[in-house]
Chains A and B, each alone.
Chain A
Amino acid sequence: MTVLKAESLSKNFRRGGLWGGGSALKAVDNVSIDLTEGETLAIVGESGSGKSTTARMVMRLIAADEGSIHLLGKDISHVRGKRLRMLRKHIQMVFQDPFASLNPRMKIVETVGEGLRVHQPKLSKAERRARVAQTLQQCGMDEEALDRYPHQFSGGQRQRIGIARALIVEPKILVLDEPVSALDVSVQAQILNLLKEIQTQQNLSYLFISHDLSVVQHIADRVLVMFAGRVVEQGTVTDVFESPKHPYTKMLLAARPIDYPHERTGKEEVAEVSEGIANTGCAFRLRCSHVQDDCAGFDGLDQSDDPEHGYHCLHPITD
């Protein structure tokens, strides 16, 4: 069952020009997302690829310029005010920085219980406290945490609190924006395990935003690769990681750090700067090893016959 469907989302930001004017930056260009119940869809890309903007549009935290969003079958593209707040019961967000996303002056019981005030206003204070304690426990935190403040916790514990805050309203979907990027490796492992556990227990769907390919390979079922605001490839994690079709995906995978020192390739040449993004045609063509003349006129559409594995490239990698 599809729980979230976003079609042809686009977002322009204006850059430069104090009094208007300036040029428009296409932060997100024609991105579509399909998320089914119980699955994890990852969006990967480097900074500026539009992955976080996409997540924020899906959450309706920022308005899309174009496109539509369906949540549990209902069109929520234009819902506003109280109705929008009520819809947030179904879709909640977990942020990257557990230090910045918790109010330092609110006790944990208040921060985590806030959602209940909106979505279950009839609960008594004691009932709310009990629900918070229960949700924190699911996330591996003791009852002792209830009356403390965020600064009394480590990064990993704060992220557990952030997850509890999202879970307490019993959503169907979590949008996780780089949820483990700010954490140490050993803490990251704990949080990834926690996310897996909760997903299995509650049949949650995750939209998982990350730049870390190893984390994505570990946690996601399907993946969508973005470059310069557009989707360049999408498919199951196995398909995309094992037989990437888009040269950008291939380059990203090749850029992963090695796991063991014996994988070193020997003497290195100084790689020159290559960061160009083309304004017309395929955005990646300036640094693409497969580039040909027709890439300058490419319309960015999916060129694949396989609905399960899409690639937006005229000259894909064939193995």
Chain B
Amino acid sequence: MRHTPAMLHVQDLSLTVPIKGKQVTAVDRISLTLEPGRVLGLVGESGCGKSITAQAMLRLGEYQGVLRSDGDILLDDQSLFSMPENELRKVRGGRVSMVFQEPMTALNPVFSIGSQITEVINLHLKMNKDDVQKRVIQLLQDVGMQDAESLLDQYPDTLSGGMRQRVLIAMAMAANPEYIIADEPTTALDVSVQKRIIQLLRSLQQQKNLSMLLVTHDFGLVAELADDVAVMYAGQVVESGTVEQIFDRPTHPYTRALMGCRPEVNEPGAALPVITGQVPSPGNWPTGCHFAERCPLADMMCQESVSLDAWAEKGHQARCVHVDVASPETSVSEIAV
């Protein structure tokens, strides 16, 4: 595969995890590219493999339980999978940093806010003590905290959920990262706080020309922040394209059905279009198209495995052999019977 440097690539990533004593594929040959200055939304429902993919990128969390991984994660052509732990530690929180869902658990309760941000700076940047202090205050101001100085000596339990999430974002920004992996960064927050965190992420991303992987189940968040989108279903990317392509012309029957069943795009009170059945769990995926057993368009052809570029148009791809039937003229409600 040919690509320019200064990009973060997930290349043909497959992950095998233990489920009830069996080795089961949880992520099936996923490829993603984080381009400079762009936000890639990785969207899907629970169990589709989006979170473990994000964690695998820095060999974190759930990834520790992975039995086997195939493919690679490349940062400027350097493999993060074969990188020794001590070198990867410099990348983590340095060139590539993270913002997670639970601001309650991601901060250490026994260290002050100031010392936790200072630690990140000292780990990655060479600065004298005074400059570090100034930078910590600047970072807190950048994330909209008034009175940043008085915050330095406070502990996480004195802050609200929204303020903790701001502190986490300040920590993620501390070492001037090029890439941010944000896993459901607003899910645990109240609506009004959510909106402010979205605004904050967008303004930081634009100012610093960051490249961001936004992992979420929420199409609203994707609509707010993403430039590009990859939709995951049962361990695979089933559709990818720019955010406009995905919202203006959702093409895979799953994407179409998922976008169509949101209450906000339906008449109040009307029956919502639904996807019949449920997501097959890892280990129970069909051999062909993973969505086939729930898809109204499925036929014999869907029993063969389908590649992501089975349908492609100007960089917009869908893992479906029946896109001709699922044309924009077919309404979403006809698809989601």
B224 on the A face (CB < 8 A): yes
Closest residue of chain A to B269 (Cβ to Cβ) is A218
Contact B223 A154 (CB under 8 A): no
Q: How near does chain A come to B296, taking the closest CB pair, in angstroms?
A: 14
Contact B191 A218 (CB under 8 A): no
A105 on the B face (CB < 8 A): no
Given contacts A154-B278, A186-B274, is CB(A257)–CB(B192) below 8 Å? no
Given contacts A184-B45, A192-B263, is CB(A261)–CB(B247) below 8 Å? yes
Q: How near does chain A come to B182, taking the closest CB pair, in angstroms?
A: 15
Q: How near does chain B come to A42, taking the closest CB pair, in angstroms?
A: 12
> How many chain B residues touch A (Cβ–Cβ < 8 Å)?
55
Contact A218 B278 (CB under 8 A): no
Segment touching A, from B108-116, B126-134, B212-220: B212-220
Contact A255 B191 (CB under 8 A): yes
Contact B268 A272 (CB under 8 A): no
Contact A272 B144 (CB under 8 A): yes
Closest residue of chain A to B221 (Cβ to Cβ) is A257
Contact of A257 among B206, B223, B266 (CB under 8 A): B223
Segment touching B, from A80-88, A262-270, A298-306: A262-270
Contact indicator per residue, chain B 140-156, by CB within 8 Å of chain A (1) or not (0): 00111110000000000
A196 on the B face (CB < 8 A): yes
Contact indicator per residue, chain A 191-229, by CB within 8 Å of chain B (1) or not (0): 011001000000000000001111101110000000000
A156 to B144, CA, bound (A): 38
Contact B258 A237 (CB under 8 A): no
Contact B203 A258 (CB under 8 A): no
In the bound complex, residues from chain B placing their C-beta under 8 Å from that of A270 are 142-144, 199-200, 203-204
Contact A218 B271 (CB under 8 A): no
The majority secondary structure among interface residues of chain B is: helix
Contact A189 B206 (CB under 8 A): no
The majority secondary structure among interface residues of chain A is: helix
Contact B191 A252 (CB under 8 A): yes
A46 on the B face (CB < 8 A): yes
Interface size range on A against B = 35 or more
B167-214: which have CB < 8 Å to A?
190-196, 198-200, 202-204, 206
Contact indicator per residue, chain A 152-195, by CB within 8 Å of chain B (1) or not (0): 00111100000000000000000000000000111111101100
Q: How near does chain A come to B72, taking the closest CB pair, in angstroms?
A: 30
B163 on the A face (CB < 8 A): yes
A259 to B247, CA, bound (A): 9
Contact B266 A218 (CB under 8 A): yes
Contact A189 B272 (CB under 8 A): yes
B46 on the A face (CB < 8 A): yes
**What is B's interface to A at a CB cutoff of 8 Å?**
45-46, 142-146, 160-163, 166, 190-196, 198-200, 202-204, 206, 217-224, 226, 243-244, 247, 257-258, 261-266, 268-269, 271-275, 278-279
